[in-house]
Copies of this chain bind each other. A is one copy, B any other.
Amino acid sequence: MMNSKKNAFYAQSGGVTAVINASACGVIETAAKSKKIDKVLCGENGILGALNENLIDTSKESKTTIAKLKNTPGGAFGSCRFKLQDPIKQKKEYERLFEVFAAHDIGFFFYNGGGDSQDTTFKVSEMAKKLKFPLQCIGIPKTVDNDLPYTDCSPGFGSVAKYVATSTLEAGLDVKSMAETSTKVFILEVMGRHAGWIAAASCLAASNQGDPPHIILLPEIPFEKNKFIARVKETVKKHGYCVIVASEGTKTKAGKFLADSGLTDAFGHKQLGGVAPVISSMISKIGLKNHWAVADYLQRSARHIASKTDLDQAYAVGAQAVKLAVAGKTAVMPVIKRLSDTPYKWQIGTAPLKNIANIEKSVPRKFISKDGFAVTSAGRRYLNPLIQGEAPTSFKHGMPEVALLKKSFVKKKLKKF
C-alpha cells in the first residue's frame, strides 16, 4: 500500500518569545495525531534550515521532551533574521527550497514568525502554486510586539506583558520604600521600537490610584521633554516617587529616537541605544536620584512568569495550523479572535497571509490617555485578559527545567547550497 502521508516542515523566524516553543509543541503533537502527516522536520535556524538541508527529525525526540517545549523559552530549533530574496528577481533560493522539500517528501510548510516571516510564508505559497508543487503553507503568528494585524493579540505578547507588569509592580514597591532618603525615580525600558504595546501593558501593575507606573512613554506619542520633566516633578511631589516605563522606541516629534540621542564613549565613539540611560540623565539634571533598568531579552524569554492565556494561545495556533493544512488550506494563518472581555473568551479564526507584512498595528489613540502618559480603561480592558493565569514551569535543583532536544538531523540528500 502506498504511503499517502507527507512530511511537514516547521521553522521559527524572527525574534523569539517565551512561548514560541509552545506553538512548536502544538504543531508536533497535533501532527502526530494526523493521518496525513508523517514526520515533522524542523528547520535549524528558521528558513536557513531548509536552504541548508539542516532538518531536525522531531520523531526522534521523546514525547516528554516535546511536551517540555511548552516550558522552554527561546527558539528550541533556532531562529533567524533572514529574508528570502524576491522570487521574481532572484529565483535561486526558492528553487532550492522546493528541491529540499521534494527530496524530503515535504507537503506541509509551517512558518512561525511575525509580519515579515509571514510574508515569506505567503511567497512560498505563491511559488508552490506556480510550480504546481503540492504544499500547504500555513503561517503561525508570533511576536512580543503585538503588532500583527488580523489577530486580536499576538502569541508571545501576553507573557511579556505579564513580565513587565509584574516587574513594574515589584520594582515600584522597591523604589517606594527607598524614596524618602534615596532613589526617587525609577525608569524601566522595555521593547517596542514602533508600537508601544509592551510599555502599555505595564499599566496592569496599578490597582489603585497613584500606583506605579506613573508615566508610560510610547512610540505612538511624541516625547516632549518639558512636559515630561514637569510630570516627573509633579509625581514626585505628590507621591514621593515616580516610576516610568519607557518603550525603546520613544521618539521626538521629529521622529528622532531618544535612544539615538548621541551618547559617546570616552573614545568619542557613538554609544548604542538605551532610552533608559538617556531619560536617567535628564532626571539627574533636575536633581532627582534615579535608577534605571533595561529588560531587553529578559522580558521576552521570561517563561517563568508566562501568562497561561498566552501559553494556551501559542499552543492553539500551532495546533490549528496543522488542522488547517490537513484540511487543504494554504496561505493563511490562524489568529486569535476575542469574543468577550469579561469573562474573557476567545477562539481561533483564520486570516489571509497576503499583505500581512504591510500592516503594523500600533496602540490606538483611544487606549492612551489624553495627556499621553497613561493607558485608558478601554486599554486596560483590552490588555487585562492577556496576562491572566499562571503557567508555572517545573524546577529541578532550583532551576527551571527546559527541553533538551537530541536534535537528530535527517540525512542530507542534496549537494551543499
Query: A residues bordering B, Cβ < 8 Å?
Result: 12, 15-16, 18, 45-46, 48, 72-82, 162, 165-167, 169-178, 180-182, 186, 188, 204-205, 207, 261-266, 269, 271-272, 274, 276-278, 280-281, 284-285, 291-298, 300-305, 307, 384, 387-390, 392, 395, 397-400, 402
Q: In angstroms, how far is the closest chain B Cβ from the Cβ of A232?
A: 16
Q: Is the CB of A263 within 8 A of B265?
A: yes
Q: How many copies does the complex hold?
A: 2
* Majority-rule SS of A interface residues: mixed
Q: In angstroms, how far is the closest chain B Cβ from the Cβ of A291?
A: 5
Question: Within the assembled complex, what's the spacing in Å between the Cα atoms of A77 and B173?
Answer: 11
Question: Within the assembled complex, what's the spacing in Å between the Cα atoms of A249 and B173?
Answer: 25
Q: Is the CB of B173 within 8 A of A301?
A: yes
Closest to A208 in B: B404
Q: Is the CB of A398 within 8 A of B402?
A: no
Q: A177-B16, A293-B296, A294-B293 known; A169 and B402 CB under 8 Å?
A: yes
- Report which residue of A73, A173, A205 has the largest number of chain B beta carbons within 10 angstroms of its beta carbon: A173
For A280, the chain B residues whose CB sits under 8 A away are 272
Q: Is the CB of A165 within 8 A of B399?
A: yes
Question: Within the assembled complex, what's the spacing in Å between the Cα atoms of A304 and B45?
Answer: 32
- Report which residue of A262, A264, A307 has the largest number of chain B beta carbons within 10 angstroms of its beta carbon: A264
Q: Is the CB of B281 within 8 A of A174?
A: no
Beyond known contacts A173-B402, A207-B397, A293-B297: 14 more, CB 8 A cutoff:
A16-B177, A74-B175, A75-B174, A81-B178, A174-B300, A174-B301, A263-B263, A263-B264, A264-B264, A272-B277, A272-B280, A272-B284, A274-B292, A277-B277
Question: Within the assembled complex, what's the spacing in Å between the Cα atoms of A266 and B15?
Answer: 31
Q: In angstroms, how far is the closest chain B Cβ from the Cβ of A333?
A: 21
Q: Within the complex, which residue of B77, B165, B285 is in contact with A269, where a contact is CB–CB below 8 Å? A: B285
Question: Within the assembled complex, what's the spacing in Å between the Cα atoms of A285 and B131?
Answer: 45
Q: In angstroms, how far is the closest chain B Cβ from the Cβ of A295?
A: 6
Closest to A178 in B: B79
- Report which residue of A178, A295, A297, A389 has the largest number of chain B beta carbons within 10 angstroms of its beta carbon: A297
Q: Is the CB of A398 within 8 A of B392?
A: no
Q: Is the CB of B272 within 8 A of A274?
A: no
For A271, the chain B residues whose CB sits under 8 A away are 263, 277, 281
4 residue pairs, one from A and one from B, having the closest CB atoms: A74-B173, A75-B177, A262-B266, A293-B296
For A262, the chain B residues whose CB sits under 8 A away are 265-266
Q: In angstroms, how far is the closest chain B Cβ from the Cβ of A374?
A: 17
Q: A173-B402, A301-B174, A304-B170 known; A45 and B181 CB under 8 Å?
A: yes
